Amino acid sequence: MWRHVKGEFGGSAPRLYAKRMGTLNYHTAGESHGPALITLIQGLPAGVPLDDDLINAELARRQGGYGRGGRQRIETDRAEYLSGVRLGKTIGAPLTIRIANKDSRLDDLERTPPVHRPRPGHADLAGSVKWLTTDCRETLERASARETAARTAAGAVARCLLKYIGVEVFGFVRQIHTAEWTPDVTPDNWRERLAQRDESDVYCPDPETSQKMRASIRTAKEEKDTVGGLVETHVFGLPIGLGSSMDWRDKLDSRLAGSVMGVQAMKAVEIGLGKAVASMFGSEVHDPIRFDASKRESSTLGFTRDRNHAGGLEGGMTNGQPLVVRATMKPISTLLRGLPSVDLNSKAASDSQYERSDVCAVSAASVVVENVVAFEIAKAALEKFGGDTLLEFVQNWEAFTEKARMLPLEPPEATIA
């Protein structure tokens, strides 16, 4: 149903047409050693140019990082569009992306044998019992982090939309094992940090810390062990008011936490200061609000903060400050030396079965989380501004932003068509 809001508020903004659209969403399909991974994205407006260089670069970054296993030398992930695109732009129909698996051998029992000895920390045991089998193969093939290539593609597509309202996303590695990088990322320095991240093979914006991270990974490899770490994503240029405080299901922090925790091997999600607030006073935690008229034309509408402990979210809504999301990744469950387990057929004690894996995938996880966050932001932006086309979406964003700068507003007089 259309709602036509006339220009009684004054100003030169275009007339605002708001339409409740179908929610932006995506589904993935495919197994680790199946023919391909599939991403189906629904709810994209028509007319969004798909930046192949951006999308494929994100897929390539997900494959990189020091500590990755042999699988990454086999695959060359690239997005192939099967539907929803014409002449490089979305057409409003479901967008289907295929990412081919070169290492496709799911039905080859010699090269991909049954797995009867579950790995502690993996989905193997729970999945085998759930689906009443002693072969963990069906569970692990879908539970594998190979599926995150499909999610990375979805997030990269979302970024093709977000750039038209000035929203940019930056992710990096904050910590691997005990090696941690502590400096802040700000709107003033993030592009410099981005360049530094791209020079690091562990995706950390600091050469000295990167060296320590590599040393931790080498040690783990020598000991036939694995290591985890901490990844962080910042989103800049966000409009105020994405998300809602009116229903818990619409709170953006809740949605972000759920989507990030859905990434394989994640064990905790924090926003802003996160768990650090537990040991602080309120006066130390909350970010004082000020107004600077010289910044009225920015995405903050002139509202400034002395700090950003809230991580850009208050009451489940964006507040104009950069969004900061942090996620903790556990060490990978597949250890070359194995861990104590049982044979599901005989129930006899046995070491867990080895499947080709990484020593550390924290770098790759930082790319996945970055793009998962981007998709959730795009979803919230489309819910706020709507539009069947990219043009409508951008015009609705511009109209809202202009009205917000004019606050306080007088309500319009009732009119009869």
Q: What confidence score (pLDDT) does residue 346 get?
A: 97
Structural domain includes residue 406: no
Residues 6+ apart with CB under 8 A from 276: none
Q: Report pLDDT for 108.
A: 86
One-letter identity of residue 285: V
Q: Is residue 16 part of a domain?
A: no
Contact 276, 341 (CB under 8 A): no
Residue 25 belongs to what domain range?
Answer: 21-385
Burial class (CB in 10 A: 0-12, 13-18, 19+), 222: exposed
SS3 per-residue string spanning 5-57: ECCCCCCCCCCEEEECCCCCEEEEECCCCCCEEEEEEECCCECCECCHHHHHH
Residue 398 lies in a domain: no
In a domain, 3, yes or no: no
Tell whether 413 is covered by a domain.
Answer: no
- pTM of the model as a whole: 0.92
For residue 358, being part of any structural domain is answered with yes
pLDDT of residue 20: 44
Q: Could you tell me if residue 415 is inside a domain?
A: no
Q: State the pLDDT at residue 415.
A: 72
46 occurs within a structural domain: yes
Tell the residue number behind the tokens 């093939």, with chain if given. 141
CB atoms within 10 A of CB 191: 12
Domain CATH code at residue 55: 3.60.150.10
Number of domains making up the chain:
1
Query: How confident is the chain (417 residues) per 10-residue block, as mean pLDDT?
Result: 37 43 88 96 98 98 89 84 98 98 87 92 96 95 95 98 98 98 96 98 98 97 96 98 95 97 97 97 97 95 96 98 98 90 96 84 97 98 96 97 91 73
Q: Which of 357, 353, 333, 356 has the alpha carbon at shortest distance from 134?
A: 353
**In sequence order, what are the beta bridge partners of 389?**
46
Strands 80-83 and 313-314: unpaired
280: which DSSP letter?
Answer: S
Q: What is the largest CA-CA distance in the chain?
A: 79
Q: Do 227 and 217 form a contact (C-beta atoms < 8 A)? A: yes
